[in-house]
Amino acid sequence: MRRWLYDSVRDLDQGPADRLRQFPREPDMIVHGLRSFSALIIRSLLRIYNRFEISGHQNLRTNRSLIIVANHCSHIDTLCLLAALPLRKLHRAFPAAASDYFFQSVPRLWAAAILVNALPFARQARVRQSLSLCQELLANPGTIVIIFPEGTRSRTGEVGEFKSGIGALVAGRDIPVVPCFIDGSFQAWAKGK
């Protein structure tokens, strides 16, 4: 059994919103509990309300670090990908989230940092810095980085053109990339709805 040591000394002088904006975040037992509890509720709602099904989830059962690459039509996409993971991997999964959208207002910041453990990703400036952070995370065994290579949600439900960041992230590295296709999220909650 792995021992988990908690040391909150480094972030005690920061306010709650500032603590959530920083990355990597300090471990917090309350946040871990909230994330696990909300994951169970979200998984149940996805299965009941959206008839959520997972095909090929055995490809995610590894102790190696990996990158999940998926199409992006809805905010539900991240929740679906996290629901496909075993609960024990939930706190080691980091969906890349647009820092200019999710890390500005407090409600979005709370949802991004606490519920989904999002990695703030710069889409316009400092993209290389965001990719370097992804590489650092992937150096730790068991880390899962979730990336939507289109860079934004599709307005039509069709898969858009991929940005070059995913290629730069995996080039020359021995990191498994698991391609995923999420079907039905556009109908469930399209961009702008």
Distance separating alpha carbons of residues 177 and 170, to the nearest angstrom: 8
Sheet holding 144-147, edge to edge: 119-121, 93-98, 144-147, 66-70, 177-180
Whole-number pLDDT of residue 153: 81
Q: Which residue, 140, 121, 144, 129, is CA-closest to 69?
A: 144
Q: What confidence score (pLDDT) does residue 146 get?
A: 95
Cα distances from 128 to residues 87, 165, 166, in angstroms, run 30, 8, 11
Q: What is the pTM of this model?
A: 0.85
Q: Quick: pLDDT tens for 166-182.
A: 888 888 889 999 999 99
Q: Flag residues of the chain having pLDDT under 70.
A: 1, 4-12, 26-27
- Identify the sign of the CA torsion 101, 107, 110, 116: negative
Could you identify the residue written with the tokens 């307005």? Answer: 155
Q: How far apart are the C-alpha atoms of 46 and 162, rounded to whole Å?
A: 27
In DSSP notation, the chain reads --------GGGTTS-HHHHHHSSSPPP-HHHHHHHHHHHHHHHHHHHHHS----SSGGGG--SS-EEEEE--SSTHHHHHHHHTS-GGGGGGEEEEEEHHHHTTSHHHHHIIIIIS-PEEE-SSS-HHHHHHHHHHHHTSTT-EEEE-TTSS--SSSS--PPPTHHHHHHTT----EEEE---SHHHHS-TT-
User: Residue 60 has what pLDDT?
Assistant: 74
Quick one: pLDDT at residue 79?
A: 93
pLDDT of the residue at 14: 74
